[in-house]
Amino acid sequence: MLVLIALLCAKPAYSEDGYELWLRYHPLASTQATAYRSRASQLIMASSTPTQAAARDELLRGLGGLLGQTPRLSDTVTRDGAIIAGTPASSPQLARLRLDTGQLGNEGYLVRSTMVDGHPATVIVANRDIGVLYGVFHFLRLLQTEQPIDHLDVREWPRIKLRVLDHWDNLDGSIERGYAGASIWDWWKLPDWLEPRYTDYARADASIGINGAVLDNVNAEAAILTPTYLQKVAALASVFRPYGIRVYLSVRFSSPMEIGGLKAADPSDPQVQRWWREKADAIYQLIPDFGGFLVKANSEGQPGPQDYGRTHADGANMLADALAPHGGVVMWRAFVYSQANKDDRAKQAYEEFKPLDGQFRPNVLLQVKNGSVDFQPREPFSPLFGAMPKTPLMMEFQITKEYLGFATHLVYLGPLYQEVLSADTLVDGKGSTVAKVIDGALDRHTLSGMAGAANIGTDRDWCGSTFNQANWYVFGRLAWNPTLSARAIADDWVRMTFTNDEAFVRPVVDMMMGSREAAVDYMTPLGLHHLMAYGSHYGPAPWDTSPPRADWRPAYYHQADRHGIGFDRTRTGSDAVDQYAPPLAAQFNDIKQTPEQYLLWFHHVSWDYRLRSGHTLWYELVAHYTHGVDEVKQMQETWRRLDGYIDPERYRQVAAFLAIQEKEAQWWRDACIAYFQSMSGRPLPPGFAPPQHSLKYYESLSFPYAPGTNPSALGSH
């Protein structure tokens, strides 16, 4: 027997390489499997459309892997434990059940235990095929996480309409801020060769409800709109279509000049308008369900409408008018700040866009980063959320860890996302959470969206590490329902990715839930931000004066001097606080009421200022940095105790990466303490170890080959 298995499972040097993500479908413990098998005796499911076929294949693949047995395919229910999946339109049996599918919309589904033709059965029903596919993934997740399935009554639908991954992939195969290898889009061999990996990408996205992919970098190249590349885009779209994923493109605002031969790209120029209309028509000829454009304009050197004295609304609306006849949308980024504008960078997006509220076409979404600076380990939510009731605001999160340790640091972003989504803007009384702003509930927008800058590349495990996969996963789950708990999602992910063994699941979920706060502590505690090295954003460089722009220099943000540290954004400072609703503004304006996690974001504070702990700021700063490192050591200890619960391949990589994380956390702590001590002139509080090296040493380090840096676009995104 074992011989036979060896025969059939001959494997390369390592097998558990992370490629399968959370869709591993490895055999369940036999007791569970036995129970589930009796609930998967036969399958009644159409497969006449590509999406129906994808759903049925996934269900058979999942059940086959998890239970070691696939249900018999049948047309009618003839035994207990049948599964019936489909839409009332595709399945007469389901139609006869007259289940209430109102409120489910086009993407929702029911998964319910019921009697069919006298037999206990499980039905997966939706109004559209794609809902059935989502329902299938939900049902499989219940098995993967070993939930009871005897009395199911699941009613699910997405709260957010556009759930999109932004791929910052360049046409040369590199990825800006990518730490997991090169672009998985093999532009060179497209459209002639469709890698099987494209299908697995679509499966993974669909399994968590992601329904859109922006294929190219927001720092866009005009070439993506040439016929040659549109053919390649169309080929990818054809792979993704059955999985409910629409393709979008980042477009360069000056494309009409670069590939259209026009003299200018002025949105008020009829020639320019025609060029975009004809380009949109050509795209929809190839891709009838094309999603639309993502635009980074007049930001960090990108061209835009302001080059011609027009507003962002003028630019967005021109593109929106070209797309509208086809049902496409424009996702216009609010991430703008100007070298010319000497005002607080954190205020500029708000100042730029709030006055434009109400001026955008109905098919325009404004895509706003979660914070007002740039994907820092922690930022207060952007004041734009809640400030533009007449405009659908789309959340932009970062999944790739540009500022959170690249590929190797174990940092679960669920708590960061949840912190932002559950933040209360108070713009419309208590409970006006950011989640309600972006899901459209607060201002009754039908158009809504959430985007995540992807962490996906050609690395075999897709994300550069197994734990980075959790960030892709939690983004999708929260885009589907922004009120879900990051902990519950982590629990699902750990079970699907590793094991259901409680002795492993509990400590690992705890470790994940604490990991983001640890990173905040060893990088930028107490509201500090943007202390990272210029360009690469790798490692600490609070001293760095090399960046060509003041607002790219760490000192711009920490403002440390002999007396204190922090950015005064109160009314006596930049007055950024008044971009928030009055009650929040008042709170942030008052150092006593400001949550200490945002202290140095809003206030310039004396080194000797006493925090709630009774300790001075200087003491707490050192304490937080030290605690961050201790937390990483604790994570290593936790992981050491878990050896043997999972495959050695992934176990060893996690252990090696935790060692790198500890080394780099120590480096962050020591370099920042050394630098800030040179400012504060204070002695190190008793009981804290001094930095391992001199400030000079830390300043001397350089990393010319740091990954993810796009030479064409230093700074950020």
Which residues would be at the binding site for a second copy (CB under 8 A)? 1, 3-10, 12-14, 17, 19-20, 24-27, 64-65, 68-69, 171-173, 181-182, 187-189, 192-194, 196, 199-200, 203, 223, 407-408, 458-460, 649, 653, 656-657, 659-660, 663, 704-707
- Ramachandran sector of residue 267 (left: φ over 0; alpha: ψ -120 to 50; beta: rest): alpha
Tell me how far, at minimum, the Cβ of 127 lies from a second copy, in Å.
Answer: 28
Tell me how far, at minimum, the Cβ of 68 lies from a second copy, in Å.
Answer: 4
- Cα dihedral across residues 261, 263, 264, 267: positive or negative: negative
Q: DSSP of 419-457, one letter per residue? A: HHHT-B--BTBTT-BHHHHHTSTTTT-S--EEEEE----
Q: Alpha-carbon distance 149 to 80, whole Å?
A: 14
Which residues make beta-bridge pairs with 246? 212
Tell me how far, at minimum, the Cβ of 215 lies from a second copy, in Å.
Answer: 14
Tell me how far, at minimum, the Cβ of 227 lies from a second copy, in Å.
Answer: 13
Residue 532 contacts residue 524 (beta carbons within 8 Å): no
Q: Alpha-carbon distance 324 to 322, whole Å?
A: 6
Residue from 11, 31, 40 nearest 500 by CA:
31
Closer to a second copy by CB, 142 or 706: give it.
Answer: 706
Tell me how far, at minimum, the Cβ of 126 lies from a second copy, in Å.
Answer: 24
Tell me how far, at minimum, the Cβ of 195 lies from a second copy, in Å.
Answer: 8
Backbone angles phi, psi at 232, to 5 degrees: -70, -40
Q: Which of 402, 521, 568, 662 is catalytic?
A: 402
Q: Alpha-carbon distance 57 to 61, whole Å?
A: 6
Q: Which of 156, 166, 374, 662 is catalytic?
A: 374
Tell me how far, at minimum, the Cβ of 668 lies from a second copy, in Å.
Answer: 16
Tell me how far, at minimum, the Cβ of 681 lies from a second copy, in Å.
Answer: 33
Tell me how far, at minimum, the Cβ of 23 lies from a second copy, in Å.
Answer: 8
Q: How far is CA 155 from CA 55, 126, 219, 335, 488, in A?
A: 18, 10, 40, 36, 18
Closer to a second copy by CB, 3 or 340: give it.
Answer: 3
Residue 308 contacts residue 355 (beta carbons within 8 Å): no
Residue 271 contacts residue 235 (beta carbons within 8 Å): no
Secondary structure element (H or E) that encloses residue 329, with its range: strand 329-333
Residue 207 contacts residue 138 (beta carbons within 8 Å): no
Tell me how far, at minimum, the Cβ of 458 lies from a second copy, in Å.
Answer: 6
Q: Alpha-carbon distance 644 to 499, whole Å?
A: 12
Closer to a second copy by CB, 26 or 96: give it.
Answer: 26
Closer to a second copy by CB, 239 or 320: give it.
Answer: 239
Tell me 715's DSSP state. S
Three-class SS of residue 363? coil
Closer to a second copy by CB, 687 or 711: give it.
Answer: 711
Q: In what order do the strands lie in the sheet with 42-45?
A: 72-73, 42-45, 82-86, 119-125, 109-116, 153-156
Residue 353 contacts residue 360 (beta carbons within 8 Å): no
Tell me how far, at minimum, the Cβ of 29 lies from a second copy, in Å.
Answer: 12
CA atoms within 13 A on the CB side of 39: 22
Whether 374 is a known active-site residue: answer: yes
Q: Alpha-carbon distance 397 to 454, whole Å?
A: 9
Whether 205 is a known active-site residue: answer: no
> Encoding tokens for residue 7?
């025969």
Residue from 160, 81, 59 nearest 395 by CA:
160
Q: For the chain, percent helix, then strand, then coil, each to nearest 5?
A: 40, 10, 45
Q: Alpha-carbon distance 492 to 474, whole Å?
A: 10
Residue 321 contacts residue 330 (beta carbons within 8 Å): no
> Encoding tokens for residue 529?
């931000």
Query: In whole angstroms, what separates CA 94 from the centre of its chain?
Result: 36
Residue from 104, 87, 96, 83 nearest 37 by CA:
83
Q: Which of 300, 461, 544, 551 is catalytic?
A: 300
Tell me how far, at minimum, the Cβ of 170 lies from a second copy, in Å.
Answer: 9
Give buried/exposed letters for 520-548 (b at 16+ CB in 10 A, else e). Answer: bbbbbbbbbbbbbbbbbbbbbbbbbeebe
Tell me how far, at minimum, the Cβ of 331 lies from a second copy, in Å.
Answer: 25
Q: Alpha-carbon distance 166 to 217, whole Å?
A: 8
Backbone angles phi, psi at 292, to 5 degrees: 145, -165
Tell me 372's DSSP state. S
Whether 402 is a known active-site residue: answer: yes
The residues that are catalytic are: 300, 374, 402
